[in-house]
Structure 1
Amino acid sequence: MENHDKSHVDPEHSHHAEHHEDQTPWHGMSVGRYLGTRFSTLKPPMLSAPNPLKLVVMINRRQWAFFAVAFAAWTWDAFDFFTVSLTVTELSETFDKSKTDITWGITLVLMFRSVGSILFGIAADRYGRKWPFIVNNILFIILELGTGFCQTYEQFLACRALFGVAMGGLYGNAAATALEDLPSETRGMMSGVLQQGYAFGYLLAAAFARGLVNTTPHGWRPLFWFGACPPVLFIIFRLMLPETDTFLEHKRLREAAGRHTAESETEKSNVTSTFIKEGKVALKRHWLLLTYLVLLMAGFNFMSHGSQDLYPTMLTNQFNFNADQVTVTQVVANLGAMLGGTTVGYCSQIFGRRFSIVVCCIVGGALLYPYTFVTTEAVMAAAFFEQFCVQGAWGVIPIHLMELSPGAFRTFVVGTSYQLGNLVSSASSTIEARLGEKFPLPNKGTTKRYNYGKVICIFMGCVFVYVILLTFIGPEHLRRSFDVADDSDMREVAGVETMEDELHDREVRAGRPVGSDEETGHQEKSATHRE
């Protein structure tokens, strides 16, 4: 394999005699050769990218529908998660428990999200994106209603643990539904928009909490009852849409491979056996990459939790901000996050995924001092730009993970790596709180005060360095084709003959001259070509 150091930046450059092969840019490299290309491959490829308005026009109505339902569900997923953190005081009074006890409801969600990502990820890759998505939202309805009707602390914990399973199952499915059928040129920008559904969900939760909590005789419960309503609309919306084209192509190829296999007697078992074979091939080929993705996502989750979780506590305990000042600062920070995710996601399509992440971490590190040491309301500006950088790097993640994931297990890998990373980082706020106790400040009356700003600054400095190093040594597969014709894992499982037969049938179904795709010589094919 030649020109490895350019392969990730030039998607139209053919490295193989058989262009259908979706070999990674680092395929066949020795460890020394791979490490030697980390600097050269970090160089911005400066790929041309259309005007953002043109990108919007490139997305057809069906693709917009897929993106909209995924974005809405991911946003409301975040809304449901933040309902507990925004009502900790009220919950502790209702259940006669300490605030620390109530935060176990948050911890349980983080712990069980990995279970959901595994279960729903495998289901979505095997049976399709549609029905696991619908089941996910049915669980949201049941568990949000259930939380609102809880009468005991134990019931509350049980509902939140089960909610963690449902929440963990949605992310990978939402990313696949939203992005895998999009034209390749639009994926960077839309990845950034999708990821910021999380920040948007927080803003919605904060707004509705002010309107629904303690404004009726039912206290905090109306917020949870309301949270169960929008998923009904998402279910109806998703029922009106078909499966994604990318999944349907994989499904047809599995069925074709099953028909050529004499090991099973029924088509169902043939498809399942093909799916299992794909899993074995993916683990054999990509186990090291999958481990890397979990470590990378641990760093990213430490980056977001480390910069956000203890920040309101710092504003009130150390800077003496009142409730309104804290709310405004948080809203400004989340607006910066939403803008950063979209902007950097778009720019990563031009400058590359790794380069964009590294730049965000460097600039974010430079902003740590004003973010944690400016004690006046001017800190809002620092919060805006700090979260612009943190969530700007996050905006690259959905498409970066999808481009690195094995095609047959895209939902599982994206969701599970994200949630396992989240599990590893779930102790970040506890770590910062314990470190804060090492830096006491003069008490304010009977209230103990700590220098949380110094702790956040030190902690985030270490996290930024970790993410930079891991991103630097990590791989990149910029503008990878999601077409099943370019899936080398599937080619190994199904066989060349089966693959070619199915591609021939696809051309016939599409009404195009047979071999038209082959004449392009491109690895990059957008979803619009498949329609």
Structure 2
Amino acid sequence: MSGTEPADPIAKGIFPTAKQAFGDLFRWRMRVEVVNADGESSAEWQDPPRLRNPISLCALLSLRDWLYFAVGLFAWIADAFDFHALSIQTVKLSKYYGQSKTSISTAITLTLLLRSVGAAFFGLAGDKWGRKWPMVVNMIVLGVLQIATIYSVTFQQFLAVRSLFGLFMGGVYGNAIAMALENCPVDARGLMSGVLQQGYSMGYVFAACANLGVGGDTDSWKIVFWIAAGLSILAGVIRVFLPESKQFREAKKAGKHTTSPGAFWRDTKAMIRKEWGMVVYCIILMTWFNYYSHTSQDSYTTFMLTQKKLDNSGASRASIIMKVGACVGGTIIGYLSQFVGRRRSIVGAALISGVLIPAWILPKGEPSLSASGFFMQFFVQGAWGVIPIHLNELSPPAFRSSFPGITYQVGNMISSPSAQIVNAVAEAVFIKGADGTPAPSYGPTMGVATAIIATGIAVTTAIGPEKRARRFEEAQAAGIVDPTVLEKDVEAGRNSSVGSSNEKKLEVNSSSAEHAEVTK
């Protein structure tokens, strides 16, 4: 390849890796580990790809690629709409059930807490049986649980349904982003990652629009939940009519490989033994990111209603504009990450969002709050826009459904009390509101928390790994066993070696997928 030169080997160990990663952050070229035909590894500096017109990048996707991407995006939008249908209507729900806003936010905590369980179950199901049917079941059940929420008479029933909802909600992310990104051409992944992650913000925008449309009556929250149920069920029905993911269809069509439950779990255990450090790092990173997102947005509508004294319509309009900024920022910064690097994009966006905190919480009136919210979320979700492809590139190639989903949702589980913490602290400390009367201190609480979190993201990302342009789409699925190899092992009396040979296969697949561009 042109534009390369030898580099020191990739560091091993926590502190050497952190030191090397931090130094590499200030080098324009990227340190890449390459493997030759003999399996020997070395490192080299590679030039980043040139900045390309985003329209030309979109043209790289085939019609089939766009179809998979659109369905994955729609499922993620529906998932986000389901979640924000509750968070954006906290005030209405507190009146309906006669509970404090902090008590209502307990439902958010329970939802986030149980998402990791769903991520593990549906993520591993997606890696073993394919992306299709786990997603179909996931989305339809989510819609049914939204309807069950509407018919929850008591607050205890409401919390129970939202807990179950969180379990199924956790399975969406991993399968959706794996299906959407695994067939994207390498050069287009940064842009498409930015667009895909903004399905979360789009879900918020649509939920805010629905909340604005139904008005401020206490019972109107139910209409928003009916809409959410319809979107989830529709996403599941659409997925029924699309074929399975490419890697699973081709393995089945070839007729040369079969899936083995034992081999799949052996591959999974081998991956955990080999990649445990990456698992821990990604969980820490996702914990920071989930605190980042929920702390800066879940209570923002409540902040405008209580401290800034906006009415329901004004707060909803400001929330919509805020999340439009998130959609724009996530797309632009995700696109730029393909050229300036994943880590540089995340670190830069996080630091800028920290600088913007005073301008975010101090203004008064709908126009000023709308503008400050727009720019704050531009950089918050701008950093988030890099995450889908960054997690996919850091994932073991055969586990692109379970690894991103589990690490993301475990981070969600750890950060699950974020909204509850913000509400509890804000309602315990009162400051002078916009009309001069005492009001809960949502602004200062969110500002201090976001400053700490943005700093944590910048530091964690700066000392972490990056595998931009990794060609994970060429990897074989986990648990695939070659019958000819199995037959030879049995004949030689070595049937017990299938597990170890499968582990070696997993490592070879990971290396070849990561470094295929070298032999291209």
Question: 2:392 is matched with which residue?
Answer: 402
The answer as to whether partners of 2:286 and 2:411 remain within 8 angstroms in 1 is yes
- Whole-angstrom CA distance in 2 between matches of 1:420 and 1:332: 30
**1:289-438 equivalences in 2 (<5 Å):** 289-376=278-365, 377-436=367-426
**1:67-466 equivalences in 2 (<5 Å):** 67-212=69-214, 219-248=220-249, 271-376=260-365, 377-436=367-426, 440-442=430-432, 448-466=438-456
- Whole-angstrom CA distance in 1 between matches of 2:173 and 2:2: 27
- Whole-angstrom CA distance in 2 between matches of 1:96 and 1:432: 20
Q: Give the aligned residue type for 2:49.
A: L
Q: Give the aligned residue type for 2:324.
A: L
Distance 1:26 1:420, change over 3 A: farther
Cα deviation per residue 1:87-116 (whole Å; 9 max; x = unaligned)?
Answer: 444444544444443333222211111111
**SS of residue matched to 1:378:** helix
Cα deviation per residue 1:244-282 (whole Å; 9 max; x = unaligned)?
Answer: 2234467789x857xxxxxxxxx55xx212211211211
- Whole-angstrom CA distance in 2 between matches of 1:103 and 1:129: 32
Find 1:29's aligned residue among 12, 16, 40. 12
Q: Give the aligned residue type for 2:462.
A: F
- Whole-angstrom CA distance in 1 between matches of 2:263 and 2:403: 18
- Whole-angstrom CA distance in 2 between matches of 1:40 and 1:251: 45
**SS of residue matched to 1:426:** coil
Distance 1:498 1:156, change over 3 A: closer
Distance 1:38 1:100, change over 3 A: closer
- Whole-angstrom CA distance in 2 between matches of 1:335 and 1:486: 38
Q: CA deviation at 1:48?
A: 1.3
- Whole-angstrom CA distance in 1 between matches of 2:425 and 2:138: 38
Q: CA deviation at 1:194?
A: 0.8
The answer as to whether partners of 1:191 and 1:399 remain within 8 angstroms in 2 is yes
**1:465-484 equivalences in 2 (<5 Å):** 465-484=455-474
Question: 1:56 is matched with which residue?
Answer: 58
Q: Give the aligned residue type for 1:37.
A: Q
Bigger CA drift: 447-456 or 474-483? 447-456
Distance 1:329 1:446, change over 3 A: closer
Cα deviation per residue 1:383-439 (whole Å; 9 max; x = unaligned)?
Answer: 211111100000000000010011222211111111111122222233334444675
The answer as to whether partners of 1:485 and 1:499 remain within 8 angstroms in 2 is no
Q: Give the aligned residue type for 1:39.
A: F
Alignment root-mean-square deviation, CA:
3.5
**SS of residue matched to 1:37:** helix
**TM-score, normalised to structure 1's length?**
0.81
The answer as to whether partners of 1:14 and 1:523 remain within 8 angstroms in 2 is no
- Whole-angstrom CA distance in 2 between matches of 1:287 and 1:522: 26
Identical positions, percent: 36
Bigger CA drift: 154-163 or 82-91? 82-91
Q: Does 1:522 align with 2:512?
A: no
**SS of residue matched to 1:48:** coil
Question: 2:45 is matched with which residue?
Answer: none
The answer as to whether partners of 2:471 and 2:517 remain within 8 angstroms in 1 is no
**SS of residue matched to 1:72:** helix
Q: CA deviation at 1:444?
A: 8.3
Bigger CA drift: 177-186 or 361-370? 361-370
Distance 1:327 1:124, change over 3 A: same
The answer as to whether partners of 1:47 and 1:349 remain within 8 angstroms in 2 is yes
The answer as to whether partners of 2:309 and 2:434 remain within 8 angstroms in 1 is no
Q: Give the aligned residue type for 1:375.
A: K
Q: CA deviation at 1:460?
A: 1.5
Q: CA deviation at 1:326?
A: 2.0
**SS of residue matched to 2:415:** helix
**SS of residue matched to 1:441:** strand
Q: Give the aligned residue type for 1:85.
A: S
Q: Give the aligned residue type for 1:415.
A: G
The answer as to whether partners of 1:293 and 1:417 remain within 8 angstroms in 2 is yes
- Whole-angstrom CA distance in 2 between matches of 1:179 and 1:221: 34
- Whole-angstrom CA distance in 1 between matches of 2:426 and 2:152: 34
Distance 1:310 1:97, change over 3 A: closer
Question: 1:19 is matched with which residue?
Answer: none
- Whole-angstrom CA distance in 1 between matches of 2:284 and 2:89: 32
Q: CA deviation at 1:495?
A: 7.7
**Unmatched runs of 5 consecutive residues or more in structure 1:** 1-9, 17-24, 258-266, 503-516, 526-531
- Whole-angstrom CA distance in 1 between matches of 2:245 and 2:16: 38
**SS of residue matched to 2:148:** helix
Question: 2:40 is matched with which residue?
Answer: none
The answer as to whether partners of 2:88 and 2:301 remain within 8 angstroms in 1 is no
The answer as to whether partners of 2:295 and 2:450 remain within 8 angstroms in 1 is yes
- Whole-angstrom CA distance in 1 between matches of 2:440 and 2:24: 44
Q: CA deviation at 1:483?
A: 3.4
- Whole-angstrom CA distance in 2 between matches of 1:128 and 1:486: 12
Q: CA deviation at 1:294?
A: 0.6
- Whole-angstrom CA distance in 1 between matches of 2:506 and 2:152: 54
Bigger CA drift: 446-455 or 199-208? 446-455
**Unmatched runs of 5 consecutive residues or more in structure 2:** 30-47, 482-499
Q: CA deviation at 1:26?
A: 7.0
Bigger CA drift: 78-87 or 435-444? 435-444
Distance 1:94 1:328, change over 3 A: closer
- Whole-angstrom CA distance in 2 between matches of 1:486 and 1:41: 31
Q: CA deviation at 1:32?
A: 5.4
**TM-score, normalised to structure 2's length?**
0.82
The answer as to whether partners of 2:211 and 2:316 remain within 8 angstroms in 1 is no
**SS of residue matched to 1:449:** strand
Q: CA deviation at 1:83?
A: 1.8
